[in-house]
Copies of this chain bind each other. A is one copy, B any other.
């Protein structure tokens, strides 16, 4: 493992490994407990592949009762637990710890109920994001949030990270599309939050769980909103001589009261990489490309398309193509959706960042990124959800060149600091995980962090769930009043023993 300080493993847990494995086998029979090194290798990282670590043991439960008993056992025996869905996290949220049970939820893969009159689906957390849409599309419905990893990522992971996607500008993040959860607390107790209705009393624990990165509990059932497919969708592909013009176009569209189904921007390096890879028909003589999708009733879409076209030309668009068929619309998106692997073809390695900024700061942040690119001597390709200000700069580096990963990480941290400086935040949809853990004090002061950790303690007072993630330091809950988070330092996150 390079470039990341992880908590020192707890010797007492390591020495009890065979007892722990035996106890888990008594709860989850058969193939459900994996402790052979080779078999565990497949779980040693998530999609933040720069960091790898074998877990203490892997457990794949199949029932809520098993999840409850595993967590109860771990709680009573002070064993740490890292929950994991499909392992597509880009921030290392599902990175195993050598002294923690890796609780893999992939066998929870059933769709339990589809209720069209109430427009909800009740699914197990291991169902993939796209699996929900696949199950309801024959009735004309779909599940709106669509992260790029939607073929593989699980809905439980989407809840943990509050995942977005190209359509979240209009249809919201995961938090806006989840109506109910069943979750198991570290004590083994099962809690139900929300349901099929829109409103709920009591504290908004549903919202709190969404985006909690596996630190508060383990989700065992998710009730999601399903939406009727819009009557039609059409896309515009608009090229601009400068990214400032593209940014102004985005602002004018929103200011015009138009909320596109998706509004994505790519810069020159991303455009070229994508075009070389999938031949989407992107113009190669522009600095910025917007893909703007309008969906809804046909008459509305036709009307909005012409409004957007006019706004684009007013802002100096050098090319503007409107999709005339479903095939053409899909082609426009193909390049955008393949942008990450496309960049992977032009660079041995890349770091995918995930900052969010107030929309109007786009030109300033793009200019700042160009300066940083020169400073670090590393290229950056930009692909982002322009409509909601969620940036995904891809920093290109070569892991075989000594110190390049380290340099890329520093570059990435500087980009995120820039995002915070203009009033934005460290992450949009990828989570904090281990990747942005050290940057939390850039965003939150000591009082803010203390309050978040107090909430963590209200769920998991022994800090057994996913320790070493999200928070730069852990603290005994009882000592919270005396806790200090040192701004600007990068403290070693040693986890206290209880």
Residue numbers of A with Cβ under 8 A of B are: 116-119, 140, 162, 164, 173, 175-176, 185, 189-193, 195-205, 207-208, 210-212, 216, 227-231, 251, 254-257, 296-297, 299-300, 302-304, 356-360, 388-390, 423-429, 431-432, 436, 440, 443-444, 447-448, 451-452, 454-459, 470
Copies in the complex: 2
In the complex the two chains form, is B197's CB within 8 Å of A116's CB? no
Contact partners of A185 in chain B: CB under 8 A: 447, 451
- Which of B173, B443, B448 is close to A191, meaning CB atoms less than 8 Å apart? B448
B residues in contact with A203, CB < 8 Å: 208, 211-212, 216, 452, 455-456
**Once the chains bind, are A426 and B201 in contact (CB under 8 Å)?**
yes
**Chain B residues in 8 Å Cβ range of A302:** 299
Knowing A195-B423, A297-B304, A454-B459 are in contact, say whether A228-B201 is a contact too (CB < 8 A).
no
CB distance from A384 to the nearest CB of B (A): 12
User: Nearest Cβ distance between residue A478 and chain B, in whole angstroms?
Assistant: 10
Contacts of A198 in B (CB 8 A): 173, 356, 388-390, 428
Question: Is A448 a contact partner of B192 (Cβ separation < 8 A)?
Answer: yes
Question: CA A110 – CA B419 in complex, angstroms?
Answer: 28
Chain A to chain B contacts (Cβ below 8 Å), 19 pairs: A116-B255, A117-B251, A117-B255, A117-B359, A164-B199, A191-B447, A197-B356, A197-B389, A199-B356, A201-B432, A202-B448, A203-B452, A204-B204, A205-B451, A229-B257, A297-B303, A300-B303, A451-B459, A455-B455
Q: Give A196 Cβ to nearest chain B Cβ, in Å.
A: 5
B360 touches A117 (CB 8 A): yes
Question: Is B297's CB under 8 angstroms from A199's CB?
Answer: no
Complex CA–CA separation, A117 to B254 (angstroms): 9
With known contacts A191-B451, A204-B204, A257-B228, A429–B199 Cβ distance under 8 A? yes
A322 smallest CB distance to B (angstroms) = 17
Closest chain B residue, CB of each to CB of A254: B119
A192: chain B residues within 8 A (beta carbon): 448
Q: Are A199 and B173 in contact (CB under 8 A)?
A: yes
In the assembled complex, the Cα of A254 lies from the Cα of B141 at a distance in Å of 12
Bound-state CA distance A359–B357 (Å) is: 37
Q: Which residues of B contact A140 (CB under 8 A)?
A: 257
Also in contact, A201 and B425, with CB within 8 A (given A257-B231, A300-B297)? yes
The one of B230, B300, B423, B444 that contacts A299, using a Cβ cutoff of 8 Å? B300
Quick one: which of A196, A456, A470 has the most chain B CB within 10 A? A196
Chain B residues in 8 Å Cβ range of A443: 201-202
Q: Looking at A197, A207, A231, A359, which has the most chain B CB atoms within 10 Å of its CB?
A: A197
Q: Is the CB of B300 within 8 A of A189?
A: no
Q: How far is the CA of A430 from the CA of B208 in the complex (A)?
A: 21
B202, B212, B299, B447: the one contacting A440 at CB < 8 Å is B202
CA distance A451 to B186 in the complex (A): 12
Cα A448 to Cα B202 in complex, Å, equals 9
Which residues on B sit within 8 Å (CB–CB) of A429? 199
Cα A390 to Cα B457 with chains together (Å):
34
> What residues on B are CB-neighbors of A117 within 8 Å?
251, 255, 359-360
In contact, A360 and B118 (Cβ under 8 angstroms) = yes
CA distance A231 to B256 in the complex (A): 10
Contacts of A212 in B (CB 8 A): 203-204
Contact indicator B299/A201 (Cβ below 8 Å)? no
Q: How far is the CB of A283 from chain B (nearest CB, A)?
A: 28
Closest to A210 in B: B204
Q: Which B residue's beta carbon lies closest to that of A361? A: B118
Docked complex Cα distance between A451 and B189 (Å):
10
CB distance from A113 to the nearest CB of B (A): 12
For A428, the chain B residues whose CB sits under 8 A away are 198-199
9 further contact pairs, Cβ within 8 A, besides A200-B356, A203-B208, A203-B212:
A116-B255, A175-B204, A197-B389, A198-B428, A202-B432, A203-B452, A205-B455, A297-B303, A451-B458
Closest to A301 in B: B300
Bound state CA distance, A210 and B189, in angstroms? 26
- Taken together as a complex, chains A and B put the C-alpha atoms of A105 and B207 apart, in Å, by 27
- Cα separation A232 to B287 with both chains bound (whole Å): 37
- Within 8 Å CB of A455, what residues of B? 203, 205, 208, 455, 458
Question: Once the chains are docked, how many angstroms separate the CA of A201 from the CA of B426?
Answer: 7
- Kindly state the separation between the CA atoms of A185 and B481 in the bound complex, as whole angstroms: 13
Closest to A183 in B: B451
User: How close is A107's CB to chain B, nearest CB, in angstroms?
Assistant: 24
